[in-house]
Structure 1
């Protein structure tokens, strides 16, 4: 009986990681060069932080953030509106066998980093960390 490799809770395969990074780089270059003919999209600088691809490589979730964080709500809508043109440009540049369906989401990694940094700056947390350092003989 064959194992169902999609139900196992392993991380992404090397192939998924390779394709995701290829899509991220190519999409960044396409957006940087302004190959998408939308004036609203052309005026924005967009950071493509990460791309996650499904195991069958059919769906790519693209995590984006506008430079400076302004227009967060607008950027996902603009990218979704131009999804087919972006997909065409991506397929032309990356020369993938199958062009994945693109899904755009806001990248909240930077917000999480700020929240973590603020947490570590609190006096209670700093005091607890200093206690751990003193009791930890290395």
Structure 2
């Protein structure tokens, strides 16, 4: 089997990807709502100008349903924010100048939830557990 990757990834970049993957898997399994994933609203502070910015991470930008604050994870900043946690520092290099951002907060809204981060209870959750047979 021939696979042509088309780009080289450094050992450091692979370590970052591995860490992000572990964070995402752990968050999904344990239900951690403080990890940035697709659909998350991420508030960051730009260390260069001390301004706060808020973005919603999306899979990709499509012509329908695009909001000005949507940030696709296939962009450099979107990928950097993916699997981040509040308090994380991300170093940026733009146009030869280095700066960074700090993750201030992450909000994950559950579908059908009454408020940010609320847990949805279905009717099945309210019934007593059935004995094992």
TM-score range (shorter-chain normalised) is: under 0.3
Higher helix share: 1
Report which of the two has the higher share of strand: 2
